[in-house]
Structure 1
């Protein structure tokens, strides 16, 4: 963890000196459901998408991504699966990584959760990250450095997805992401018990106060969060999103020796 210092000034003003955490992860409960939340300031931290290595092979595991990053003197301070994929782990919808597009934007309704429109795009730009509804994204001039498409949208301009039912008995482990209007505050959430779409969307809108949120996936969802002493293993994933930071001091020296 990075150190920080709390400074108290007159008139009740409080400032934090020094660097804050790259990402803050915590466990919380809301309306009887349990969640793990990881919050990122996109204006300060390096959010990246990961799918394939330099040979074109799908990385698919947090450990494989960590191995790749360690060669750069970097590490993951957080990661999670980020968008739906086919059995060969190729993306179902738009996938753009460092300006290279692997899959185009899909705008038509279709089967499954991805096709439960409106769906959306998680767009990474310099200093910000945004969840944008797919048709709004298509009509805009937004240029993303990296992007992943998934669905359904959970929250659209402060409203829950119109097809969600409060008393739905379709309950699964779920993960997703929500963003603030200015693109700085990004909160990733994974449920720790099964939840329906209505409850999961309500977490982002009513508890976290985020106007846009996007569903990533269900029971295959996994989280890498060293702050929570958690790094889920399992079957190979498709797209992954993570926060990357430099390996600190002694750890970096150990890698070089």
Structure 2
């Protein structure tokens, strides 16, 4: 189950780690399909109550915003929930963090968790990859052990940020981090690379959109979100 901790070096942050062998307890959530009037989940509290209604034997341990969304809280990138594609892979050029190329996809299949650069993800899908869940966001923070080339080590643009890394092997661990103090893109990426040992890491969002739910940390950020990552456990 997620090991969630608060730490203060090299900056204030909260981290939740998940072993790949616990993948069965992991899901991507966005809507309540049985609700016609208010299908969007939007908040961690609604997510928690929805999961409890669907799986009374399980409790929500961890959740995090899972990527960027439009004005209707719909994902703007590739999204797969329970094996069903909700949004197609987005390879368009544009402005904003999502289009600070390369961007990437955090996804899972029956073999494990991955973070894959979007162009490479297109090739994997063309070759028959079948994600059970996927969420596309951007920019990539770490790409095959290298910090995103557009990040400036001397940048003074600091914001609250959250992201995910797939780190180590046999088994790999998934590490979710939310900064509890503003950090630059370079500082955040270097943390995943140098401190956490993640070969690949993906920015999920920043500023007022960064959010964390952790039962261990007694934290339930009250913000509106689009797609959310959720980890549950049997009561």
Is contact 1:50-1:239 (8 Å) kept? yes
1:87 aligns to what SS in structure 2?
A: coil
Give the Cα separation in 2 of the matches to 1:58 and 1:124.
Answer: 23
Give the Cα separation in 2 of the matches to 1:237 and 1:205.
Answer: 27
Give the Cα separation in 2 of the matches to 1:64 and 1:42.
Answer: 26
Is contact 1:30-1:207 (8 Å) kept? no
Q: Is residue 155 of structure 1 aligned with residue 133 of structure 2?
A: no
CA offset digits 1:17-62 (Å, max 9, x no partner): xxxxx1100112333x111000001222421100011136110111
Q: Which residue of 2 aligns with 1:203?
A: 191
Q: Which residue of 1 aligns with 2:165?
A: 178
Q: Which residue of 2 aligns with 1:29?
A: 8
Counterpart of 2:131 (choices 120, 129, 144) is 144
Is contact 1:93-1:106 (8 Å) kept? yes
Give the alignment's TM-score, normalised by structure 1: 0.84
Counterpart of 2:47 (choices 52, 65, 75) is 65
Give the Cα separation in 2 of the matches to 1:63 and 1:125.
Answer: 28
**Higher relative contact order, structure no. (Cα contacts within 8 Å, ≥ 6 residues apart):** 2
C-alpha root-mean-square deviation of aligned residues, in Å?
Answer: 1.3
1:43 aligns to what SS in structure 2?
A: helix
Q: Which runs of 5+ in 1 are unaligned?
A: 1-21, 249-257
Q: Which residue of 2 aligns with 1:4?
A: none
Give the Cα separation in 2 of the matches to 1:89 and 1:221.
Answer: 14
Give the Cα separation in 2 of the matches to 1:117 and 1:99.
Answer: 26
Give the Cα separation in 2 of the matches to 1:127 and 1:138.
Answer: 19
Counterpart of 1:222 (choices 211, 217, 220) is 211
Q: Which residue of 1 aligns with 2:222?
A: 233
Q: Which residue of 2 aligns with 1:126?
A: 110
Q: Is residue 41 of structure 1 aligned with residue 19 of structure 2?
A: yes
Q: Which runs of 5+ in 2 are unaligned?
A: none
Is contact 1:130-1:180 (8 Å) kept? no
Give the alignment's TM-score, normalised by structure 2: 0.91
Give the Cα separation in 2 of the matches to 1:30 and 1:111.
Answer: 32
Give the Cα separation in 1 of the matches to 2:198 and 2:143.
Answer: 10
Counterpart of 1:164 (choices 128, 151, 154) is 151
Tell me which stretches of 4 or more aligned residues in structure 1 moved more than 6 Å: none
Is contact 2:83-2:130 (8 Å) kept? no
CA offset digits 1:118-153 (Å, max 9, x no partner): 000010223521111101111123321010000000
How many residue pairs get aligned? The number is 224
For residue 181 of structure 1, report the CA deviation from its aligned partner: 5.4
